[in-house]
Amino acid sequence: MERIQTRRFNTDNLFKGIIYAALILLAVVILVPLLWVVMASFKQNSEFYGSPWTPPQGLYWQNFTDAWTTARMGEFMLNSVITTALSLLLLLIVALPAAYVLSRFSFRGKKALNTMFMGGLFINVNYIVVPIFLMFVDGDKWLRGIGLPPVFLNNIYVLALVYAATALPFTIYLLSGYFITLPKAYEEAAYIDGASNFATMVKIMFPMAKPAIITVILFNFLAFWNEYVIAMTLLSDPKGAKTLPVGLMNLMKAQNAAAQYGRMYAGLVLVMLPTLILYMAVQRKLTQGMTLGGLKG
Amino acid sequence: MDKHKGRRLFAFLCVAPAVILFIIFMVIPTFNVFRMSLYRWGGFSARRTFIGLENFTRLFQDMKFIQSFQNTVFLVVLVSVITLSLALLFAGILSREKIKGQNFFRVVFYIPNILSVVIISAIFNAIYDPHNGMLNSILALFKPEGAEPVYWLGTQSIVLYSLAGAMIWQAVGYYMVMYMASMASIPEALYESANLEGASRTTQFFRITIPLIWTNIRTTLTFFIISSINLSFMFVKAMTSGGPDGSTEVFLSYMYKQAYTNSAYGYGMAIGVVVFVFSFVLSAIVNAVTRREVMEV
């Protein structure tokens, strides 16, 4: 009996060892490139020609000033903040009432609307970016035709509207799924107290949906902040406004041509830092939220 | 009666903005993808001729399109199989074994998912750089002095695997956290009785864990396929632009190229239609193939 137990103990140890080795290997594969980028952002251009593993000779902050001003990353940072904040605000204003009504009211056509939004989950924005772009081209052409300045392309506010609109299916799906689980008694009580539909929704139901709302904000923040295909398409003017990921894309292209390594990695750190800080602050909520939402597209 | 009417008006006002935005920015563009695919639609000029299915017949004789088709299928299959197996494996380990620093691993593995595809592409450009990239500098330790470096993104036979590496790096953590969440709902008693009967960990993993979260695996597989079609485009656009010599062109990057650099909007949209149909058919196939009797506890 004792012998069996010690043998079991030994294979157990071996098994544990293999598990730890695998986990640590994966962690290294993820962390090392990230730390490398931070290290590279402090290197001078001449330092990039040796081994990639030599630490920087000093903290070359000039890279960050270059990225911030010369490569306009500071300006793009502001654009990204505005676009992300505005699209989140718009999204919540539009999606919250819709999700509430679609999950807790009964009316004709409700099923059709729910099916329509569910179908939207399968439409990826990248599939339809070309028609959206052409729609704005036509819109601008029409505006010029009647003597007004074009407003649709190269406009971060329009970009925010597109972000909000295309995030609706996922957001409504997630919020409805939460609203449906809340007990009916709250609305009935509010009804007896004579509260209006609007007051019931805003004062009673929305606060109760807080966990779902936080999840929605987190996921969409990451989606909007990181998005680049739509931004690149709709903000096509090289001198015009850009968001951070698009600016970074340009830096990558410039790096290939003119070998501005340090500046590019500094730009990379600037884009990466806000998401990493946010993630560290809310990682528990974010990974818990996934059970709530289930999936993203 | 009046109250009832007010309630209906309230419901309408809540749903209307969402429906309008959804129709303008998702339904109409989707419809336009299909409509435009039937036209010869060149650039910004007003020249639009109805040509029926000619775009499609041309498409299936276009060797570049066929290559992008093959590349997409290759990437989708390779990336989903590896990502989901790794995610399941690590989720199984982290949720079943008593691991020190479990939370640390969970947090670290999820990081790539919060980063923009542009950032990940820039990081992998640094990893894959032929002359002073991280990967080649490690390989150089095992190779004779002066050996030819590997051109990870410049060799036609390797570049798809290099892209797959970046895509897997990005997605493993997300799906791992997702599977961990659903594994947490499996009752502990099942494993206890399996232990009593002497079932090994591997047996437990394949006979208890996998069957019990099968529904979740099916859903993630379907969603993952759709998002891989999309992500493959975002990585190709940021890392290789379809090169070298079209060997990494995927569906959507070819569509984008036709629409913007070639100004062949109609032709591009015919590709869009194929992508829609392809992703639906593929999800249907996956759904049918993975259908099992659901085990419930």
In terms of residues, how long is chain A? Answer: 297
Indicate which CATH number applies to the domain containing A76: 1.10.3720.10
Residues A105 and B79: their CA atoms lie apart, in Å, by 42
Report pLDDT for A6: 56
Q: Which residues of A touch B8 (CB under 8 A)?
A: 107
Q: CB–CB of A27 and B127 under 8 A?
A: no
Q: CB–CB of B114 and A34 under 8 A?
A: no
Residues B236 and B78: their CA atoms lie apart, in Å, by 16
Q: Which residue bears the tokens 């695919």?
A: B37
User: DSSP for A143-175?
Assistant: HHHTT----STT-HHHHHHHHHHHTHHHHHHHH
Q: Which residue of chain A comes nearest to B27, CA vs CA? A: A120
pLDDT band for B139, please (50, 70, 90 cuts): confident
Q: State mean pLDDT over A209-216.
A: 90
Determine the residue type at A127.
Y
Nearest C-alpha of chain A: how many angstroms from B21?
A: 6
Whether A264 has its CB under 8 Å from any CB of chain B: the answer is: yes
Q: Which residues of B touch A279 (CB under 8 A)?
A: 110-111, 114
Nearest C-alpha of chain A: how many angstroms from B237?
A: 9
Contacts of A128 by beta carbon, 8 Å cutoff, 6+ apart: B26, B29, B30, B32, B33, B272
Higher-confidence position of A1 and B163: B163
Q: CB–CB of A297 and B36 under 8 A?
A: no
Residue A30 lies in a domain: no
Q: What is the pLDDT of residues B24-44, one digit of tens each?
A: 999 999 999 999 899 887 765
Which of A154-158, A276-280, B16-20, B292-296 shows the lowest mean pLDDT across its residues?
B292-296
Three-state SS string across chain B, please? CHHHHHHHHHHHHHHHHHHHHHHHHHHHHHHHHHHHCCEEEECCCCCEEECCCHHHHHHCCCHHHHHHHHHHHHHHHHHHHHHHHHHHHHHHHHHHCCCCCHHHHHHHHHHHHHCCHHHHHHHHHHHHCCCCCHHHHHHHHHCCCCCCCCCCCCCCCCHHHHHHHHHHHHHHHHHHHHHHHHHCCCCHHHHHHHHHCCCCHHHHHHHHHHHHCHHHHHHHHHHHHHHHHHHHHHHHHHHCCCCCCCCCCCHHHHHHHHHHCCCEHHHHHHHHHHHHHHHHHHHHHHHHHCCCCCCCC
Determine the residue type at A255.
Q
**Closest by Cβ to A27, choosing from B93, B108, B230:** B108
Q: What is the pLDDT of residues B280-294, one digit of tens each?
A: 898 889 888 888 776
Residues A35 and A50: their CA atoms lie apart, in Å, by 18
Q: What is the pLDDT of residues B232-284, one digit of tens each?
A: 999 998 888 877 878 889 989 999 888 887 778 889 999 999 999 998 898 88
Nearest C-alpha of chain A: how many angstroms from B203?
A: 15
Report pLDDT for A166: 95
Q: State mean pLDDT over A235-257.
A: 85
Name the helix (H) or strand (E) containing A78.
Answer: helix A73-104
Residue A194 lies in a domain: yes
Provide the percentage of residues in chain A whose pLDDT is more than 70: 92
Q: What is the pairing mode between strands B39-41 and B48-50? A: antiparallel
Q: CB–CB of A126 and B108 under 8 A?
A: no
Q: What is the pLDDT of residues B189-240, one digit of tens each?
A: 999 899 898 888 889 999 999 999 998 898 888 888 888 999 999 999 888 8
Contacts of A171 by beta carbon, 8 Å cutoff, 6+ apart: A91, A95, A99, A216, A220
DSSP letter, residue A55: P
Q: What part of A 68-97 touches B (C-beta under 8 Å)?
A: 93-95, 97
The CATH code belonging to domain B62-289 is 1.10.3720.10
B230 burial level (CB within 10 Å; 0-12, 13-18, 19+): buried
Q: Which residues of A touch B229 (CB under 8 A)?
A: 124
For residue B2, pLDDT beyond 70: no
Tell me the two tokens of residue A143: 């505006």
Give the residue from A12, A14, A23 with the most B CB atoms within 10 Å of its CB, the best one to mutate: A23
Q: Which residue bears the tokens 């379907």?
A: B222
pLDDT band for A229, please (50, 70, 90 cuts): very high
Which of A79-83, A136-140, B41-45, B108-112 shows the lowest mean pLDDT across its residues?
B41-45
How far, in Å, are A12, A44, B148 from residue B122 at the CA level?
Answer: 41, 18, 23
User: A270 φ, ψ to 5°?
Assistant: -60, -35
A229 in Cβ contact with B237 (< 8 Å): yes
Q: State mean pLDDT over A73-94.
A: 95
Q: CB–CB of B226 and A124 under 8 A?
A: yes
Domain hosting residue A227, numbered range:
64-293
Determine the residue type at B113.
N
A245 in Cβ contact with A267 (< 8 Å): no
Q: What part of A 177-196 touches B (C-beta under 8 Å)?
A: none
Give the residue from A287, A291, A292, A296 with the most B CB atoms within 10 Å of its CB, the best one to mutate: A287
Q: pTM (2 decimals)?
A: 0.89
Q: CB–CB of A122 and B8 under 8 A?
A: no
**Closest by Cβ to B25, choosing from A101, A113, A166:** A166
Whether A134 has its CB under 8 Å from any CB of chain B: the answer is: yes
Q: CB–CB of A132 and B29 under 8 A?
A: yes
Report pLDDT for A4: 54
Could you state, in order of their start, the residue ranges of all structural domains in chain B?
62-289
Q: Which residue bears the tokens 């060149």?
A: B42
pLDDT band for A295, please (50, 70, 90 cuts): very low
3-state secondary structure of A296: coil
Structural domain count of chain A: 1
Residue A215 lies in a domain: yes
Nearest to B279 by CA among B231, B235, B246, B243: B231
Provide the percentage of residues in chain B whose pLDDT is more than 90: 39
Tell me the two tokens of residue B76: 């989708």
Q: Which residue bears the tokens 């109250």?
A: B3
